[in-house]
Amino acid sequence: MSRTIFEKGIGGKSGNYLPTGDFNVDTIEGIRTRKGPVGLPEIGEQDIIRHYVELASKNYHIDKGMYPLGSCTMKYNPVVNEEIAGLDGFGGLHPEQDDDDVQGALELMYSLESALCEICGMSAFSLQPVAGAHGEMTGMMVAKDYFRSRGEERKTVIVPDSAHGTNPASVVICGFEPKVMASDEHGLIDPEILAAQIGDDTAVLMLTLPNTLGLFEKEIARIVEIVHEAGALIYMDGANMNALLGIVQPGAIGIDIMHLNLHKTFATPHGGGGPGSGPVGVREHLADFLPVPRVVMEDGKYRRVYESKNSIGRVHPWHGNFNVCVKAYAYICACGSEGLLAVSENAIVNANYLMKKVGQWYDIKYPGPCMHEFVASGRNLKQYDVRTTDIAKRLLDYGLHAPTVYFPLIVEEALMIEPVETEKKETLDNFADVMEKIAVEAKEDPELLHKAPLTTPVRRLDEASAARSPELCWPGLDSLGGEGD
Ligand SMILES: *Cc1c(COP(=O)(O)O)cnc(C)c1O
């Protein structure tokens, strides 16, 4: 284990160049000075830089290698987006500045909303939600107020078992009752099962599209019809819209409410808790329910409107994560409509290519063709007492990040793989080769897989205990007189 910066920083060194003041702070009225050390590491600038470079090189990140996490869309994010979001004119704004002073920022929000409306065939978008799950919650609130405004009491939301895990959680948070609907043997919604489950009490069908098996609902037209005939709304979790850009406009096929994950589809880095953005789009009859403020254009000027009759109100103190919107808008402008279509086409081609290769060694319960991702299964290696966890850990030894594992729940020993559109063929081939090697190792030396990872800074962790009773280590506590370990 490498030492922490607190253990390294005991040299009485400093990395600051501040001059010593020519005044005595003790004589300034009202200022309390601390006597004695403050418990911060004492370390020179060069050693600080080495410390963090060493940590970064131990870590796995998108600049180091492929990230095949299903559903997460960990793709390359062009650096120019960061530069643009960091421009003083964007980074230095305050959300409470007068509309007249921030015309450029308002124009960007207005233009981004228009672009998202065009891409998705929706009438209006709110940029306020700051995550995909936050968008789901916003969408459910819109649905709730819509039915309330019509004097209808509808309590249940149908969620297919192929939906993303956040969907039922958002349903519950908004006071609806989730009703799980089983997928058919192809991993899709069977319109007859839906028709049997839907009723006067159904508010919404909440659909992840493509679903978490990476499949597009073949019967979508019929599904929409059934939902609308029952007087319910259809919600689309569009977090993985990178499979549909330029191919499907959800609004045009009758989706009433949807969210996007700008931090997946539209190239903002995410993971590690980075800021996200989950805009919510609706068709015309629901536009008035979106959160305020909204940006409108009147007489060639942009302004924010803080009131609307039916609005659900605010879901975020300001206007959402504005800098994420800047990056997404930069990405959309750089790609253009043909570029966005190419994004989705490449995502689909890459996923199908990899599915065919990985499918030579692993079970594929739903062989597709898939959209942007596919779900393989490690169940064929169970005969050697090797589980999906072992496969995931062994991948780390080969310098690769593991896919999403054990999700979706409807696939035993699931390995959910999304290669994304920005990876080249050699990278995909390498991933497939390593998956093959691991399948061979499972047969020949299963003990090795049980011990993996062997080459990482820490070996196999007790994940359950790490989550339930973490040992928080902060040796700096020592210098504050605490009992750190
Ligand atoms: C990632 C994802 C979400 C949740 O998005 P967050 O920004 O993590 O809240 C919801 N649905 C699907 C399909 C996703 O892939």
Domain boundary among 63, 94, 109: 63
Give the domain extent around 460: 346-468
Pair 106, 142 in one domain:
yes
In short, whether 209's Cβ falls inside 6 Å of ligand 1 is no
The whole-number pLDDT of residue 105 equals 97
- Tokens coding 467: 């989550």
**Does the structure show a pLDDT above 90 at 357?**
yes
| Model confidence band, residue 283 (pLDDT cutoffs 50, 70, 90) | very high
Mean pLDDT of 312-328: 95
Pair 85, 194 in one domain:
yes
Give the whole-number percent of the chain exceeding pLDDT 90: 80
HSE (CB half, 13 Å, CA atoms) of 216? Answer: 15
Pair 413, 365 in one domain:
yes
Pair 369, 282 in one domain:
no
The whole-number pLDDT of residue 126 equals 98
Pair 172, 264 in one domain:
yes
Mean pLDDT of 250-275: 89
- Whole-number mean pLDDT of the chain? 92
The pLDDT tens digits of the residues spanning 195-236 come to: 999 999 999 999 999 999 999 999 999 999 999 999 999 999
Rounded Cα distance between 201 and 230, Å, is 9
Tell me if 75 is assigned to some domain.
no
Ligand 1 centroid to Cα of residue 199, in Å, is 28
**Does the structure show a pLDDT above 70 at 485?**
no
The whole-number pLDDT of residue 469 equals 87
Ligand 1 centroid to Cα of residue 152, in Å, is 29
pLDDT greater at residue 462 or residue 139: 139
Q: Which of 159, 216, 235, 237 to mutate for ligand 1's pocket (most ligand atoms within 8 Å of CB)?
A: 237
The whole-number pLDDT of residue 423 equals 97
**Does the structure show a pLDDT above 90 at 340?**
yes
Tell me if 483 is assigned to some domain.
no
Ligand 1 centroid to Cα of residue 55, in Å, is 28
Pair 53, 98 in one domain:
no
Pair 436, 360 in one domain:
yes
Tell me if 478 is assigned to some domain.
no
Pair 330, 377 in one domain:
no
Tell me if 329 is assigned to some domain.
yes
**Does the structure show a pLDDT above 50 at 346?**
yes
The whole-number pLDDT of residue 271 equals 65
Mean pLDDT of 49-62: 90
| Model confidence band, residue 1 (pLDDT cutoffs 50, 70, 90) | low
Mean pLDDT of 297-318: 95
Residue 216: CATH number of its domain: 3.40.640.10
Whose Cα sits closest to atom 4 in ligand 1? 132
Tell me if 68 is assigned to some domain.
no
The whole-number pLDDT of residue 272 equals 59
Give the whole-number percent of the chain exceeding pLDDT 70: 95
The whole-number pLDDT of residue 36 equals 75
Pair 359, 315 in one domain:
no
- Which DSSP string corresponds to 272-308? TT------EEE-GGGGGGS-S-EEEEETTEEEEE---
Pair 306, 452 in one domain:
no
Pair 54, 118 in one domain:
no
The whole-number pLDDT of residue 482 equals 39
Residue 400: CATH number of its domain: 3.90.1150.10
Tell me if 341 is assigned to some domain.
no
Domain boundary among 335, 358, 378: 335
Atom of ligand 1 nearest to the CA of 163: 13
| Model confidence band, residue 421 (pLDDT cutoffs 50, 70, 90) | very high
Which strand (E) or helix (H) includes residue 171?
helix 166-173
Tell me if 47 is assigned to some domain.
yes
**Does the structure show a pLDDT above 50 at 450?**
yes
Cis peptide before 129 (omega within 30 of 0): no
Atom of ligand 1 nearest to the CA of 270: 7
The whole-number pLDDT of residue 63 equals 86
The pLDDT tens digits of the residues spanning 108-141 come to: 999 999 999 999 999 999 999 999 999 999 999 9
Rounded Cα distance between 318 and 296, Å, is 16
| Model confidence band, residue 18 (pLDDT cutoffs 50, 70, 90) | confident
Pair 314, 387 in one domain:
no
pTM above 0.75, yes or no: yes
**Does the structure show a pLDDT above 80 at 30?**
no
Q: Count up the domains in the chain and report the number.
A: 3
Q: Which of 140, 166, 240, 258 to mutate for ligand 1's pocket (most ligand atoms within 8 Å of CB)?
A: 166
| Model confidence band, residue 273 (pLDDT cutoffs 50, 70, 90) | low
Tell me if 216 is assigned to some domain.
yes
| Model confidence band, residue 443 (pLDDT cutoffs 50, 70, 90) | very high
Mean pLDDT of 343-362: 98
**Does the structure show a pLDDT above 90 at 33?**
no
The pLDDT tens digits of the residues spanning 155-179 come to: 999 999 999 999 999 999 999 999 9
Task: Specify whether the CB–CB gap between 251 and 121 falls below 8 A.
Answer: yes
Task: Specify whether the CB–CB gap between 162 and 212 falls below 8 A.
Answer: yes
Angle at 208 between CA 408 and CA 79, to 5 degrees: 90
